[in-house]
Amino acid sequence: MARLIRDEGLENFYALKDKVTPPADGALEPARDFGWLVEAAQTAEAAATRDGRVAELELGAQGMSCAACGWLIERLYKRRPGAGEIEASAETGRVRLRWAPGGGFEAAAFARELQRFGYLLGPIGAEVKERESESRMLARKAGLAGALAMNAMMAAFPYYLGMAADYEYARLFEAAGFLFATLSVFACGTYFLGRAAGMLRARQLHLDLPIALGIVGAYLGSTWGWLTVNPEAQYFDFVTGFIALMLTGRWAQVAAVERNRKRLLREQPVASRVRVWRADDWTEAEAESLREGERFVVAAGARVPVEARLEAGEAEFSLAWITGEAEPRLFRAGQRVPAGALLAGGGAAVEFTATQGWAGSLLAELSRPVERAPERTRLIEVVVKWYLIGILSTAFGAGLWWGWTTRDVAETGAVVISILVVSCPCALGLAFPLAEEIATVRLRRRGVFIRAGEIWQRLSRVRTVVFDKTGTLTRETPALRQPEALETLGAEARAALLALVRDNPHPVGRALHEAILLRGWDVTPLPGLVVEETGRGVRLGEWTLERAGEGGGDAALRCAGETFARFSFTEALRDDAREELAALKRRGLGLAVLSGDRDEKVAALARELGVSAEWAKGGLDPREKAAWLDAHADGTGLMLGDGANDSLAFDRALCRGTPAVHRGVLGTKADFYYLGRGIGGVRALLEVNDARRSTHAALLVFMIAYNLTAVGLAATGHMNPLFAAVLMPLSSLATLVIVWMGLRRSA
């Protein structure tokens, strides 16, 4: 990708780029089927032509992680023929394209160019739209609440400077404070009030209930002080400031997970459209509509959507996505090809007859969303419940005591309001979600992205880490054993080899393409049509990349029968696999490797990584992987996988993660995903969660100590509402310091 950016004259990308690494293998992936995008663009152009306006499309973009990514996408779009305006937002993970119909703009061509740079375009899911609306709504409310808080503080400022109660403009300043607080409560605070009321109607205690009580208590107490001309009981500036603070904290919580979710292509089709023989003609149809007995065609680089019989000839298929096998397998006419097999090579399309319909296929089963059981009650919910009971009981008891002993309504009200105000749960309402936001940012800087916010509550129960082998512990493409063979090639041989492998989805082709890109060859691929010779290799004129045959090696580059280079490949561990598994063992976690690959390969890998032979299983199909988790993990397993063969095991796991965010099935099921060539994201997740948990514990200790002290002073009449209004924000600042100190070491 770095070479692509340099060659295209886009070096300014690095002036904007932050530390986050986007998916690095997008340029090495076979070209995606963007047929859905062609149709979407045609529909947009037809509507625009009918209405006399520009065409417009809004799409999800996987891989955008900062402002530099948005800048790069915008520059690439502007260079396309017929392109109009574009908006690319890393915050929302979306791009909005506008162009004039009939101007020559091709959306699919733009998407393919973006793929070369590691970005993938896809449709936007309905769930993403719903969550985004909540984030934007919270941002607007927080901004409005902040503005009202500033105005309320200006109205209260003269009082803090010693303005006398009988000053002729005193009531005017008080009325202004009342107005701003009223607007803040009804325009912004209703977010918490409405949610708390709804939960009470459902007979549930919720985090928003104590926040709502703090808002209502402070506002009613201030209003009572204003109506009775009692400046000592008015703290409208606190009411507005408290609402602004709570909304900002809630926005941070919602937006953190939302940003990460939107970087996934949740709606990227698992099985693309296929050509089906219907009504005596070939027609385009959704793969999900296939029925048993129908004939259909799969193009090179695409997946077989249902189990089907190969009709003629022979072809190689990669089963890594389904069984975990690294090497492609040759199928001949009459053999059944499993659903999810990838047609390797860059040759012609292959015809099949479906032996099952989509509804009954394994791929359909693997693609279904998992139904998760409700999470057990979280600690914070228990704390909220008893905190609320304790505060209400204290306020009620103190009110009875002071009312009985003093018979002074004003003094009794001041005590009750002081208790409610000073005890507002900032640690729960702001610091806890802020800690999770900071933890999420820390992980993002280490290449780990959280999809499901509730994963934090599940991580503490993880006792076993289960790895898939191919593509998870090992790299997706094999490693070239003797890279020096590339250095012996002349200019023409290099140009020929680049042409043969650059669009070849075969693992050998991808491995050579990756090795070439890493060397930064400054060559132009030979022109011409690359033809696949099934079972042998690929040909461009007299140049071939084919099986090595006699003389050793796995593949050979030849021209007119003369061998220019031989290449051997080996399955390569991810860069840090040994170190990371050893670190996980030191944490006391059990380790397992489950794979569809051969037993002997899995056993050898387990020995190399120090995994117990009893917990290293090969030759497993997806259902057997799921059964192993049921039998051995017992609801405490963290599953790491990269393909559809891991999908059923994902459903059984307590937590799920993947390094393959670009594949569709696991991207929508995973709780988190991680980037890069290693697996360090797993340990990073656990380490950051340790820091988050210790920070939460410190917050709970502080909250308990603070509330015992502050509420005790308020209940005994040693604190007036004004002092409570000042003390509560100070406690908020203290909780922020605790969060910063607690999570600083996790950076």
The full DSSP string for 114-144 is HHHTT-EEEPPPHHHHHHHHHHHHHHHHHHH
**Token output for 351:** 């015809």
Tally the residues of the chain. 747
Q: Sign of the CA dihedral 298, 304, 307, 313?
A: positive
Is the separation of the CB atoms in 571 and 326 below 8 Å? yes
595 and 462 share a domain?
Answer: yes
The more confident residue out of 209 and 596 is 596
pLDDT at 129: 44
322 and 457 share a domain?
Answer: no
Alpha helices in 618-720 (DSSP H): 622-632, 647-652, 665-669, 680-715
90-94, 146-150, 658-662 — most confident range: 146-150
Q: How does pLDDT run across 512-571, given as a tens digit for each residue?
A: 888 887 787 888 888 888 887 766 788 888 999 988 877 777 889 999 889 999 998 887
pLDDT at 534: 61
pLDDT at 691: 92
E-strand spans in 313-441?
314-318, 329-332, 336-337, 342-343, 350-354
Query: Within a domain: residue 708?
Result: no
Among 80-84, 337-341, 384-388, whose mean pLDDT is lowest?
Answer: 384-388
Vertex 740, ends 128 and 152: CA angle to 5°?
Answer: 75
pLDDT at 378: 53
pLDDT at 494: 92
Residue 468 has pLDDT above 60, yes or no: yes
Identify which of 497, 643, 482, 636 has the alpha carbon closest to the alpha carbon of residue 566: 482
Q: Domain total for the chain?
A: 4
**Residue 387: left (phi > 0), alpha (psi -120 to 50), or beta?**
alpha
Query: Within a domain: residue 743?
Result: no
pLDDT at 660: 64
Q: Sign of the CA dihedral 218, 222, 225, 230?
A: positive
Residue 21 has pLDDT above 90, yes or no: no
Domain ranges, residue 314: 274-367
502 and 470 share a domain?
Answer: no
The more confident residue out of 89 and 511 is 511
464 and 520 share a domain?
Answer: no
Instruction: State the Cα–Cα distance between residues 471 and 318, nearest whole angstrom.
Output: 13
CATH number for position 116:
3.30.70.100
CATH number for position 519:
3.40.1110.10
pTM summary value: 0.58
**Token output for 131:** 């969550």
CB crowding 18-51: b at 16 or more within 10 Å, else e: eebbbbebbbbbbbbbbebbeebbeebbeebeee
Query: Within a domain: residue 463?
Result: yes
526 and 612 share a domain?
Answer: no
CB crowding 565-591: b at 16 or more within 10 Å, else e: bbbebebbbbeebeebbebbeeeebbb
CATH number for position 635:
3.40.50.1000
Instruction: State the Cα–Cα distance between residues 124 and 59, nearest whole angstrom.
Output: 6
Q: Which residue among 367, 391, 420 closes a domain?
A: 367
360 and 504 share a domain?
Answer: no
Q: How does pLDDT run across 431-441, given as a tens digit for each residue?
A: 777 787 788 87
Angle at which helices 236-261 and 721-744 cross, to 10°:
30
Instruction: State the Cα–Cα distance between residues 557 and 537, nearest whole angstrom.
Output: 10
Query: Within a domain: residue 426?
Result: no
pLDDT at 462: 93
CA dihedral 629, 633, 638, 639 (to 10 degrees): -20
545 and 594 share a domain?
Answer: no
Vertex 239, ends 235 and 243: CA angle to 5°?
Answer: 165
Contact residues for 675 (Cβ-Cβ < 8 A; gap 6+): 21, 22, 23, 24, 447, 448, 449, 659, 661, 681
Q: Could you identify the residue written with the tokens 């070439």?
A: 516
Among 13-17, 216-220, 234-238, 522-526, whose mean pLDDT is lowest?
Answer: 13-17
Q: Which residue among 611, 643, 675 closes a domain?
A: 675
pLDDT confidence band for 267 (50 / 70 / 90):
very low
Residue 271 has pLDDT above 60, yes or no: no
Q: What is the rounded average pLDDT of the residues 37-51?
A: 86
Q: How does pLDDT run across 277-296, given as a tens digit for each residue?
A: 988 888 888 777 888 999 99
pLDDT at 366: 54
pLDDT confidence band for 593 (50 / 70 / 90):
very high
Among 67-71, 589-593, 692-696, whose mean pLDDT is lowest?
Answer: 67-71
Q: How does pLDDT run across 143-165, given as a tens digit for each residue?
A: 898 899 888 877 776 666 666 56
Q: What is the rounded average pLDDT of the residues 355-375?
A: 61
Query: Within a domain: residue 736?
Result: no
Is the separation of the CB atoms in 123 and 49 below 8 Å? no
543 and 588 share a domain?
Answer: no
pLDDT at 637: 93
**Token output for 123:** 């449709």
10-14, 51-55, 257-261 — most confident range: 51-55
Q: Could you identify the residue written with the tokens 């199928």?
A: 331
Instruction: State the Cα–Cα distance between residues 299 and 271, nearest whole angstrom.
Output: 12
pLDDT at 365: 59
546 and 654 share a domain?
Answer: no
Residue 371 has pLDDT above 60, yes or no: no
Angle at which helices 432-445 and 680-715 cross, to 10°:
160
pLDDT confidence band for 377 (50 / 70 / 90):
very low
CATH number for position 357:
2.70.150.10
556 and 609 share a domain?
Answer: no
Residue 223 has pLDDT above 70, yes or no: yes
Q: How does pLDDT run across 312-362, given as a tens digit for each residue?
A: 888 888 776 565 555 677 888 888 888 878 887 656 788 999 988 887 776
Angle at which helices 208-227 and 170-184 cross, to 10°:
160
59 and 47 share a domain?
Answer: yes
Percentage of residues of the chain with pLDDT beyond 70:
76
Query: Within a domain: residue 115?
Result: yes
Q: What is the mean pLDDT of the chain?
A: 77
Residue 644 has pLDDT above 80, yes or no: no
Q: How does pLDDT run across 167-180, given as a tens digit for each residue?
A: 666 678 778 888 99
pLDDT at 12: 44
Is the separation of the CB atoms in 675 and 371 below 8 Å? no
Residue 8 has pLDDT above 70, yes or no: no
Query: Within a domain: residue 545?
Result: yes
Among 13-22, 247-256, 439-448, 656-665, whose mean pLDDT is lowest?
Answer: 13-22
456 and 522 share a domain?
Answer: no
Q: Could you identify the residue written with the tokens 């549930």?
A: 204
Q: Which residue among 530, 551, 570 closes a domain?
A: 570
Query: Within a domain: residue 226?
Result: no
